[in-house]
A and B are shown apart, each in its own frame.
Chain A
Amino acid sequence: MTDIQIEMKKVSKAFGKKVVLKDLDLTINRGESVVIIGGSGTGKSVTLKCILGLLHPDKGEIKFNGKNIGMLFQGAALFDSLTVWENVSFAVLQQKGMTRERAKKIAIEKLAEVGLKPEVADVYPADLSGGMKKRVGLARAIAIQPDTLFFDEPTTGLDPIMSDVINDLIVRCVKKLGATALTITHDMTSARKIADKIAMLYEGKIIWMGTVKELDKTDNPYVRQFVAGSSQGPIRMSVKADEA
């Protein structure tokens, strides 16, 4: 057994003429929590979807050594036609010999783990606030005890307090499962809280990777500009709509 959970080698992906990933290399060790930072539209979600097999890279190699995964989507991606508990136990319900009663009990346990009361179990997603949707999405992601967790912009669109709550929940869930975690975000507060290691994506490549401590000491001008949130520096923001 290797200690590497996810390995991407020279992965390239383009949509038509638009090159999004270009010879991207990334290695994530088992049990590590890695956060990819980068501006919007730089291909963070595309990177994640390539690992998940939802998109097929044009070139390169991706090795995934985990057994099962859980993913929290940017907009939570809850199924509208199902209740909260049916959402949380969606994968659980597919297991052989699983009854609806047991699946619902498991769902309620998972909801408790993300700080939601049993009362929300029978509610439909449309009646939940953004923060609650994210929590339900998180409960669904951890329902089958995955060994690898993925988070796509977990705090985007939430107020700072709710963001902090979600960050804490993510850290707690990842610790409890002993899982490997890959998070993508452009929220630096969130990144510092969640990450063992931070990687920066720029122009289709991982241009820097290191610990949070190293992040504050690096003299990489791209990383420094992004961390400082400054418009002055080597990173040029594209203003064309199709590259946003």
Chain B
Amino acid sequence: MEPLLNFLSSLGRMTLNFLRATGDGAEFTAKVVVACIRRPFYHKEFVRQMIEIGFYSLPVVALTTFFSGMVIALQTYTGFSQLSAEGAVALVVLVAVTRELAPVMAALMVAGRIGAAMAAEIGTMRVTEQIDALSTLNTNPYQYLIAPRVLAGIVMMPVLVLIGDILGVCGGYLVGVYKLDFNATTYLINTWNYLKPMDIISGLTKAAVFGFIIALLGCYNGFHSKGGAQGVGQATTNAVVSASILVLIFNYLLTEAFFNV
């Protein structure tokens, strides 16, 4: 009983904190959106963040999507009747990777890498008064610090996911052909025939939304961190946890919206 109560009370506390954060977050989000539209646009910062997100996250995203594609092929084979497996594996890998696995895996990886880095960097700037210094130097911190990160997140996540799509499908193909002994040509033809633009587009749209969520929460937590190094550490953890949860919630909502279920 005791552990259950503890669990419930911590769940309740989490929910309350979450709701409070939602209120503050809405105001913050509005300010960020305005900052993204307004000039000046700091393109140097934008490019730096695009490289940070796109280039340096590529290895982890590539690895996770590749192995996800492989494991899906294996699971589908063991799950389906092995007679009809040849067609099913190609289809399931394609659909699972493009609609779900690539966007969600990439988002969770990027949340852990980039969301944390953004929170730590901006949090350090907050506690060392660098953000105050920006304001005294006629620079809006929302425009200089946050807008480039959020825009880079929106732009680069779909790029990462598109690469993840390709690698995930490759992973499925390798397992299908080299482990399950499918015919290579048939597998490729099946994959090509099952390919629907909507699957890719929905996955990339999700990616853009996730990129926005991750960058926004990284910046939000960093921006509001207080109390020295410990506060920055806390902000970093919060950024990763909250972004991961929101990504999964929005993944569900977007899936519902896209496929009208």
Contacts and interface: CB of A to CB of B under 8 A. Distances in A.
A54 B128 contact: no
A170 B138 CA distance: 22
A77 B137 CA distance: 12
- Binding site of A, secondary structure by majority: helix, strand, loop or mixed? loop
B142 to A, nearest CB: 14
B130 A71 contact: no
A74 B129 contact: yes
Max chain A Cβ within 10 angstroms of own Cβ: one of B124, B130, B136: B136
A52 B139 CA distance: 13
A73 to B, nearest CB: 5
B128 A77 contact: yes
Interface in B63-106: none
B140 to A, nearest CB: 11
Contacts of B125: 79-80
A94 B133 CA distance: 15
Contacts of B135: 52-54
A49 B128 contact: no
Contact residues on A (Cβ < 8 Å of other chain), bracket? 20 to 34
A94 B40 contact: yes
Contacts of A94: 40, 137-139
A171 interface: no
Contacts of B128: 75, 77
A56 to B, nearest CB: 13
Contact of B129 (A69, A73, A91): A73
A90 interface: yes
A140 interface: yes
A38 interface: no
A230 B132 CA distance: 34
B132 A73 contact: yes
A43 interface: no
Interface string B119-153: 00000110011101101111100000000000000
Interface of B: 40, 124-125, 128-130, 132-133, 135-139
Given A52-B132, A75-B128, 16 more contacts: A52-B136, A54-B132, A54-B135, A69-B136, A71-B133, A73-B129, A73-B132, A73-B133, A77-B129, A78-B130, A78-B133, A79-B130, A80-B124, A90-B137, A91-B137, A94-B40
